[in-house]
Amino acid sequence: MRKAGVLLPVASLPSNYGIGDFGTSAYEFIDVIVEMGMKLWQILPLNPLGYGNSPYQPYSSFAGDELYISLEKLQECGLLEELPKPFHKKEERIDYPAVRAYKEQFLKKAFERFSPDEEYEVFASMEWVKEYAVFITLKKANGLKCWNEWKKEDQRWIQDKKLDLTPFQEQIQYEIFFQYMFYRQWKALKEYANQKGILVMGDIPFYVGIDSLDVWANQKCFLLDGSRPTYIAGVPPDYFSEVGQRWGNPIYNWEYLKKTKFRFWMDRIGYNKNLYDIIRIDHFRAFDTFWKIPASCETAIEGEWIEAPGYEVFDTLYEQMPDVEIVAEDLGDLRPEVYELRDHYHLKGMKIFQFAMDLAENNNDFEDRENMIIYTGTHDNQTMMGWFLAQEEEYQEEILHNLKELGYQQKELIDRFDAYVMDSIADWAILPVQDILGLCDEARLNTPGTMGSPNWEWKLVDLTELKKKSKTIHKMIVESKRVG
């Protein structure tokens, strides 16, 4: 069925407290996109932010970041006597350290007023909950160092459980409280979206970071020498980088994973299936072949392509979860076998309109295929207007001429791009909020191959301008027959 959707990370929502969360603005945003006629809301991972505040280097594939907990919702359920004063409300960039420090003081107050109930006890009994609480508690006790640099007795707790955790009990309970409130607030927000006819697409990175509960608790699942990776993940030189991208994530020990019937992946996808209606798997191509870089190499130039047991993983997955809905991030210059794997399981792939028009991009064929999602761009691209303004004037004129010939003559240039994407044969069409508003590269979310500021920092100040676009986008959706 033809659907339209929007891409916006929760962190980029407006908020009274410097970062988007599960509060009032999130519900208001859902109302706005419903009025537009949208049926999909794609977000980025909500897990605890790791190095560089990247949602793709989280401390856990199961836990959520307390930054997304709404102080408004805590006040509504009686855990805060009154709402604190707004903080960084009008800022267009997220100051992660400042926001985290500000919200933490009120989260502590909420914890002090909290009384566990049966629902809490059921949640806290899940294995990963206590393990994550211990992990993050020990991480803080060890100066936030990676677990492989902790005191030896702390490192070994996950294996032998000999470390006396008594001195850490209050902090552990504090961390469990965070996870419980995150879970409750997110499930309530998702339920509201579903009631309004919106499906939520979550996001799972293919790899996990070395500095994570995932690796600490599942060391046999990765190629490690003791506690350190022997090989790391990335991609070879490509459109984004002449030296490739050296991500640093440990490589999976696929032989061991096979022996466990891929339990690590089954648990990971199974839990996220509980959180989202649809799961996008980032870097899907690594289920076919992955770039294996010696950990000693400083760039991603050196490495080799290794085949992965993708068919075995997905056969096992659909045996256990036949109703799971997966989207494959299949962007880039890929070998045919990746598409064969995708199509064997009837997975939706992705196509970027910006890439299709880019003469310098290797993967710029515009497939005439229904079972896919078309975007103007994603969180890793320039904004649509940023990309267009960066082109040579002659090429800009050619693009405008081609759009005019196809009948796209809307007053606002961004509306011509958006309408073209909406009219695609693709089953789903998704627009980043930046490309609904026609923002330039000051609103770009991430530049692949770079770390730290300004990546992941852009946010909306309010929803005023988005509301003004509601009728325009609704008209596009109706005319492109995406109202079902």
Q: Are 236 and 285 in contact (CB under 8 A)?
A: no
Calculate the CA 473 to chain-centre distance: 24
Can you give the three-state secondary structure of 356-370, one letter per residue?
A: HHCCCCCCCCCCCCC
Name the active-site residue from 65, 329, 330, 415: 329
Residue linked to tokens 């002449």: 242
C-alpha 135/C-alpha 129 separation (Å) is 10
Q: Tell me, what DSSP letter sits at residue 83?
A: P
C-alpha 209/C-alpha 54 separation (Å) is 11
- The DSSP line for 309-378 is -HHHHHHHHHHH-TT--EEE---SS--HHHHHHHHHTT-BEEEEHHHHH-TT-TT------SSEEEES--
Q: Are 176 and 129 in contact (CB under 8 A)?
A: yes
At residue 410, what is the residue type? Q
**Degrees (nearest 5) of the Cα angle 145, 150, 153?**
160
Name the active-site residue from 154, 282, 288, 435: 282
At residue 77, what is the residue type? C
For the four alpha carbons of 354, 356, 358 and 363, in that order, the dihedral sign comes to positive
Annotation says 329 is catalytic: yes
Residue linked to tokens 């530049």: 447
For residues 252-271, one letter each, b for 16 or more C-beta atoms within 10 angstroms of the residue's C-beta and e for the rest, the string is bbbeebeeeebebbbebbee
Name the active-site residue from 288, 380, 423, 435: 380
CB atoms within 10 A of CB 398: 14
Active site residues: 282, 329, 380
